[in-house]
Each structure stands twice: as structure tokens, then as C-alpha cells.
Amino acid sequence: MMGKRIHNFNAGPAALPFEVLEEIQSELLDYKGSGMSILEVSHRSKWFDDVINSAVERTRKLLNLGEDFEVLFIQGGASLQFCMIPMNLGLKGRPVNYVNTGTWSTKAIKEAEIQGKDVNVIASSEDKGFSYIPEDFAVDGNAAYLHFTSNNTIKGTQWSRFPDAGDVPLVSDMSSDILSRPLDAAPFGLIYAGAQKNIGPSGTAMVIIRKDMLDRTPDHLPTMLKYTTFAEKNSMFNTPACMAVYTIDLVLKWIDERIGGLQKMEAVNREKASMLYDFIDQSHFFRGTAEKESRSLMNVTFRLPNEALEKEFVAEALEEGLGGLKGHRSVGGCRASIYNATGLEAVRALMGFMAEFEKKRG
């Protein structure tokens, strides 16, 4: 018997659409008449071939990708991509440009520096505790690429407009907002995302790479650290994270068929975020931490008057069926992650609880 499900505001692993969970449940013991679970089928079988090809094609459709892009699934999460990107896309004698907007950008920068790349951090919001997205900076036209993190889960900031780097390829960590809104892929050399925040469970990263970027991969790299290895074998040089890719495919189908595509997905996400930010802004008890023009549609970060009240808020919220509201351990406070799968009803329930908590403790 299933216990009561909570409203899930975890930052990752995060909420999955309930319809997707039900579909997984219905197929778990016998996938498509195979007599096996998806957990058991060979990755060399037609059953899994269909799964990974469907996930690739659904990604292409949702993002309107041309044939000049490859969609790959690589284990190791976004953290492995921090080192694979400079390894594969760095060019001899040319710098790599980074914008630092918080923890995950900092980690990506460190991995490029470890390799001895000529790393130029051309903009940073560290001066104000990463509470905003920098706007005033110049990209080196000779740079091999410009790397930025599109959404910052810990600080609750997001790029509303992507940087203009001219002919320099953009590279972006979109772990926490991929497929939450439409985008023009043309300026991007590579987009990557750990799946466990917005498109699936943990276990794989989605990597969308422009084919001309594959020409940069040096021959001397270890086989499993080359993008070409994954591109040439449809992400199946070795056994991929089969369950994760299967779930991603179902989430993509949900976005496409149930939601109606990325424009409608963005409209829902904007509605959720504006409701919650409007509530926080009119409150004298709750306080948002990100600057208004840089606020994330995915991660709403906020503080209460003191840490003791924050602990009580998180604990009492869980008792009321609202989970995952504790802020990241590095910054404290509170955070509501309202990714694609977290619906309007969850946000309304949270606002109702916040109003009652403020009435009692404010």
C-alpha cells in the first residue's frame, strides 16, 4: 500500500512527473512484452535501442535541433563534464573564458585550471555573494569557448538572456533548467545537464554538442573521456545508465505530449515562480535572497528573520507534506525548487503554509 506522497521541493534528485512514475510502475516487471524489466534488458537489444533513439529524437524535437547537433548520454553527471569540456574543446594557444556565478561555475573553473588551461574569468558576481547575474563584460574573441552556468541552484539566480559571444561558441551547464524554456541552440557549441534536477533521475548527463566541436577532440585523450567515443557509438560504447535514459525519455514525452512543448512549459514555470516571488515580496517575514532581475524560475531562495525560525519552518513544513525546503548547506536559509515536475498545486500549498507560519510567528 502506497503512503501519502509529499509536495517535493528537493533541489536534486528532484520531483518527477507523477504520470511518469505511474508509467514506470506499470512497465517495471514486463517492458513492452519482453518478459523482462527495463532494469534487465540488454543495452544491445532492440528494446533499449528504441529507448535511447526516442530520447534523442524527443530532445531534438523539443529544442528544435538541426542535424548539426549530437545528443549524448554520459555517466559521471555534470561534474565529469567540468573536466571533459576543457579536455575536448580547449584549443592550443587560445584562452578559455568563464563567467563565475556561484558554486558550480567555481568547480568548472577549477577543473580547467587543473589541466593548465589559460583560464580567464571575464565576469563574476562574487562581490555580492553571487546574488546576481553579471551583464557588463567583454568576451575575448580569440577564446576557444565561453562557459557559463545557466541557472544557479544554490543562490537562486538564472540567466534570463544568454550572453552574446559573437563567433565564440557558448558552453553552458544547464543542469537545473534544461528543457524548462525554449532556446536557440545555434550559438552553443555544447550544452550539458545532469539529469536529476529537471529531466530525470541521477545516473547520467545529457550532452548536446555541435558536430564541428567534435573535430577538436585530441587523439591522446583516454577513450572514455572523448566526446567522439560517445558520438560514434550513439552513447553505447559501454553500458549506459539504462534506467536513467528510459526515465528521461518518458519525461520528454510528458513535456511534449502532456504539457504541449517548451513554450507552454515555460509559461507554467513563470506562473509558479511569479506567484511565489509575489508572495515573498509582499511579506515582512520572508525575504528573497537573489536580486529581482536575476531571479531563478527554478530555485526560489529565501530567508526568515533568524536561523532558529528557519529550522522550525523546514521541520513543520515536512510535517505538512512539504519536503526539501532546506537551503543548501553552504548558504543556509530556505529554498523551494520548482522544476518542471513540481506543479502549481504544490506552489499553492507552500504559499498557504508560509502564510499560516507567518501569521503564527511573524
Tell me whether strands 205-210 and 287-288 are parallel, antiparallel or unpaired: unpaired
Residue 81's nearest CA partner among 240, 182, 207, 216 is: 207
104 catalytic per annotation: yes
Cell numbers for 271 = 506562473
Cα distances from 13 to residues 44, 172, 262, 339, in angstroms, run: 28, 20, 22, 11
Active-site position among 47, 155, 177, 197: 197
Cell numbers for 169 = 561558441
CA–CA distance, 199 with 165 (Å, rounded to integer): 27
Contact, 244 vs 203, CB < 8 A? yes
197 catalytic per annotation: yes
Q: Which residue has the cell 500549498?
A: 349
Contact, 240 vs 52, CB < 8 A? yes
CA–CA distance, 66 with 32 (Å, rounded to integer): 30
Cα distances from 243 to residues 73, 239, 249, 262, 359, in angstroms, run: 12, 11, 10, 24, 45
Residues of 198-221 as b/e, b for ≥16 C-beta within 10 angstroms?
bbbbebbbbbbbbeebbebbeeee
Contact, 105 vs 99, CB < 8 A? yes
Please return the burial class of 118, using the count of CB atoms within 10 Å of its CB with bins 0-12, 13-18 and 19+. middle
Active-site position among 117, 155, 159, 173: 173
Active-site position among 47, 104, 159, 254: 104
47 catalytic per annotation: no
Helix (H, G, I), strand (E, B) or coil at 69: strand
318's CB contacts (< 8 A; 6+ apart) are: 6, 325
Looking at the annotation, which residues are catalytic? 104, 173, 197
